[in-house]
C-alpha cells in the first residue's frame, strides 16, 4: 500500500477518524492530520452558522440545506460550502449529517419527510442531532435512522452564538460509546467541552435538565431584580450583594450587563425558544413521573413573557 489510504481503508474509517501520513519512525515528530469528512448540515441559524464555519476551518467538505431561516450564507460559500435544495440530496452526499434545528417537530420533519434525510441516507452514515428535542421523540428518530442503515447520536449544545463562532460549544452526547469515541474528533472541531452522558436520548435529557435550571435561575433573578427596582434598591447594590453571596452564578453574570447598563447583547436566546425548551422539560418530567411544581411556575413565567 502506498502513502495514501486505499479505498477500502478510507471506507472503513469511522467519522472523525485520523489519517496518519507519517513514515515509520516519524510518529513522534509529525502531528496527525484530521481526515476530511463530507458533512451535511441542516439548520444554519445563529448556532449552526458557527458550527459550519468551524467545520470548514478544519478542512471538512461541507454542504448546507437551503432554507429561509438560515443566516446569510455568503461567508460560508466563500469558504467553500456547497448548498443543497433537499435534505434527501444532502444526505445522499454526506458521511455525517448534523441537525441544528428548532425542536422535535422540525427534527421529525427533516428526517422523515418525503424528501427528507432518511430517503437519501446511505448505509453507515451518522446522523448527529444538535437540536433540543423531547427524549422520547429522539429515541424514535434514532430507531428510524438505524432502520434506514444509519447511526445516531444526540448531541445538543449549550453556550451562545459567540462560543459557536469560536468553536467553544459544550456538547452533551447520547449514544453508543464506541460511536461517540469515533465521532469525537469531528465534534471537537466546534466544541470545547464534550461529555458522553449515556445512551441515545440521554443527551437531550441532560440538555433539558440544564436549560430548566439555567432558565429557572434567570426567571428567579429577573423577578427579584424587578422587585428590587420597585423597592428603590440600586442595581449596583443588588448585583454586588448577590455576586458576593448565594446569588453568584453564570446566570447573574449573563444578566449583569442588562441590570447595570441595559445592555442586552448577551441575551440572545429568544423567549420563544426558552418557552419551548421549558415545555419540553415539562413533557419529560411528566413522562418520568417527576415532581414539577417549580417547573410549572417557571414555564408559566416564560409563557406570559411570550404572550
Q: Which of 57, 162, 207, 256 is labelled catalytic?
A: 207
**Residue 207 appears among annotated catalytic residues:** yes
Half-sphere exposure of 202 (CA within 13 A, CB side): 13
C-alpha to C-alpha distance for 56 and 78, rounded to whole angstroms:
10
Q: Which of 49, 54, 43 is nearest to 74 (CA)?
A: 49
C-alpha to C-alpha distance for 109 and 115, rounded to whole angstroms:
10
Strand 169-174 and strand 157-158: the pairing is: antiparallel
Report residue 24 CA to chain centroid gap: 39
Report residue 227 CA to chain centroid gap: 35
**What is the grid cell recorded at 246?**
448565594
Query: CB under 8 Å to 133, separation ≥6 — which residues?
Result: 103, 104, 107, 141, 154, 156, 204, 280
**What is the grid cell recorded at 136?**
422520547
**What is the grid cell recorded at 201?**
436520548
Sign of the CA dihedral 296, 301, 303, 307?
Answer: positive
Q: What are phi and psi of 13, to 5 degrees?
A: -70, 130
Q: Which residues are catalytic?
A: 207
Amino acid at each position: 500500500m502506498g502513502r495514501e489510504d486505499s479505498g477500502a481503508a478510507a471506507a472503513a474509517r469511522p467519522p472523525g477518524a485520523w489519517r496518519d501520513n507519517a513514515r515509520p519512525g516519524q510518529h513522534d515528530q509529525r502531528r496527525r492530520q484530521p481526515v476530511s469528512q463530507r458533512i451535511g448540515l441542516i439548520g444554519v441559524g445563529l448556532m449552526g452558522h458557527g458550527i459550519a464555519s468551524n467545520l470548514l476551518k478544519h478542512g471538512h467538505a461541507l454542504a448546507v440545506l437551503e432554507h429561509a431561516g438560515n443566516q446569510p450564507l455568503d461567508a460560508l460559500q466563500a469558504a467553500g460550502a456547497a448548498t443543497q435544495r433537499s435534505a434527501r440530496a444532502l444526505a445522499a452526499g454526506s458521511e455525517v449529517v448534523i441537525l441544528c434545528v428548532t425542536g422535535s417537530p422540525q427534527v421529525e420533519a427533516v428526517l422523515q419527510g418525503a424528501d427528507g434525510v432518511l430517503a437519501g441516507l446511505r448505509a453507515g452514515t451518522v446522523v448527529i442531532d444538535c437540536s433540543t428535542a423531547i427524549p422520547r421523540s429522539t429515541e424514535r428518530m434514532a430507531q428510524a435512522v438505524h432502520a434506514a442503515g444509519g447511526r445516531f447520536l444526540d448531541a445538543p449544545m449549550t453556550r451562545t452564538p459567540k462560543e459557536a463562532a469560536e468553536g467553544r460549544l459544550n456538547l452533551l452526547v447520547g449514544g453508543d460509546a464506541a460511536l461517540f469515541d469515533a465521532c469525537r474528533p469531528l465534534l471537537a472541531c466546534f466544541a470545547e467541552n464534550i461529555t458522553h452522558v449515556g445512551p441515545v436520548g440521554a443527551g437531550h435529557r441532560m440538555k433539558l435538565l440544564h436549560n430548566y435550571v439555567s432558565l429557572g435561575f434567570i426567571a428567579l433573578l429577573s423577578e427579584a431584580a424587578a422587585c428590587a427596582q420597585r423597592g428603590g434598591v440600586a442595581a449596583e447594590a443588588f448585583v454586588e450583594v448577590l455576586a458576593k453571596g448565594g446569588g453568584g452564578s453564570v446566570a447573574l453574570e449573563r444578566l449583569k450587563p442588562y441590570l447595570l447598563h441595559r445592555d442586552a447583547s448577551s441575551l440572545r436566546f429568544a423567549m420563544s425558544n426558552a418557552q419551548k425548551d421549558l415545555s419540553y422539560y415539562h413533557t419529560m418530567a411528566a413522562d418520568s413521573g417527576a415532581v414539577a411544581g417549580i417547573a410549572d411556575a417557571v414555564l408559566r413565567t416564560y409563557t406570559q413573557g411570550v404572550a
